[in-house]
Amino acid sequence: MLKRILAIFMARNLEFFRDRSAMSWNFILPIFMLVGFSFMFGEKDKTIYKVGVLRSESAITSVAENNSAFKQLRFFSWIEYQDPQQAILKVDQHKIDLLLDFKDKKYWINNTSANGYLVEKLLLASHPDFNKSETDGRAVRYLDWVMPGILGMNMMFSCLFGVGYVIVRYRKNGVLKRFQATPLSAFEFLSAQIMSRLVIVLSVTSLLFIGSDYLFGFYILGSRLDLFIIAFLGASSMIALSLLIASRTHSEELAGGLLNFFSWPMMFLSGVWFSLEGATPMVKQLADFFPLTHMLKAARAVMTDGASLSGCSRALVGSTHHHICLFRARQLVV
């Protein structure tokens, strides 16, 4: 059985590597996108000052805060936080320009932030008695945020069209019927297809990630091993989705349409290019049906927030529930 699985595994790999245009596209598209976004959004200045405020239950503190002349300034965005450590991390990452604690008369500032320097001068003009605490962190660029989305989108297209569409083509060309005359079972055939695509997708994504990180120096707080595990789970989920589509389709044209029907909404609703934080609840609920949404949530939590696998378990559970599609794959050879 292992020899038969290995033979199909090697054949599928050779088929991929001999298709030079498909293999080149897997490398060229993400690189061009990363380079383009690095020029377009790498050093874009903010136009609104963002100040974090640690929330206090004290009535005296609330009165002092509401009467503060500093809080009456225009063109400021005030963001409340309950967790001091989370708020300080936002200062480290330049996501907010300054953090205030009216209760203890204290503020935190990143000494490398230009906006933070100006906000500090305005604060001290109104509250010269506030004590200063400095942090030293690196800004999270849009390039750092969008990188998981670009690689995730590349994985999505490779998994959906590299497995589902190929199997439909095999069925249409009679390849699956010819396999029935061999000792190869449906389980062995599917195992080889899944293993081949996982090895190819994870290898290409890892090389792109390592090379891009070397060129652009991405902001990564969490473990790279955790990122690899998340990529493995996400790729498995999208392969499962492609198998479900392939199990119900006999036409290449219909398979292409169905795969596009799932891939394009994922590209726009899964947070590839922009955050869904301000989206309507209906859009968020729709996005939660897609495995790419959960994979990107988990990857960004690990990268920018330093979360562990247990810290993003909710997103991982949302991604892995799509594996149920694998159980429908037995219909592929019918």
pLDDT of residue 220: 85
Q: Which of 217, 318, 307 lies closest to 271, judged by CA?
A: 318
Amino acid at 291: P
pLDDT of residue 322: 52
pLDDT of residue 202: 92
pLDDT of residue 318: 55
pLDDT of residue 66: 67
Ramachandran angles phi, psi of 133, nearest 5°: -130, 130
Residue with tokens 């300054």: 98
Q: Which residues contact 142 (CB under 8 A, 6 or more apart)?
A: 37, 41, 42, 44
Q: What is the 3-state secondary structure (H, E, C) of 297-319?
A: HHHHHHHHHCCCCCCCHHHHHHH
Are residues 210 and 296 in contact, defined by beta-carbon separation less than 8 angstroms? no
pLDDT of residue 331: 47
Strands 106-110 and 76-81: unpaired
pLDDT of residue 12: 78
Q: Residue 149 to residues 64, 81, 154, 239, 267: CA-CA distances in angstroms?
A: 43, 27, 9, 18, 9
Can you name the CATH fold of 49-135? D-Maltodextrin-Binding Protein; domain 2 (3.40.190)
Q: What is the pTM of this model?
A: 0.66
Domain with CATH 3.40.190 in the chain: 49-135
- pLDDT tens, per residue, the chain with 334 residues: 788 888 888 887 887 777 666 666 667 767 766 665 565 555 554 456 888 888 766 544 565 666 677 888 888 888 888 888 888 888 877 778 899 988 888 999 988 788 888 899 888 988 888 998 888 766 677 788 888 888 999 999 888 888 888 888 888 888 888 888 888 888 888 888 888 889 999 999 999 999 888 888 888 888 889 899 999 988 988 888 888 888 777 777 777 777 877 887 888 778 888 777 656 777 778 888 888 888 888 888 888 878 877 777 666 665 555 554 444 444 444 4
Residue with tokens 């190819």: 200
pLDDT of residue 203: 92
pLDDT of residue 23: 66
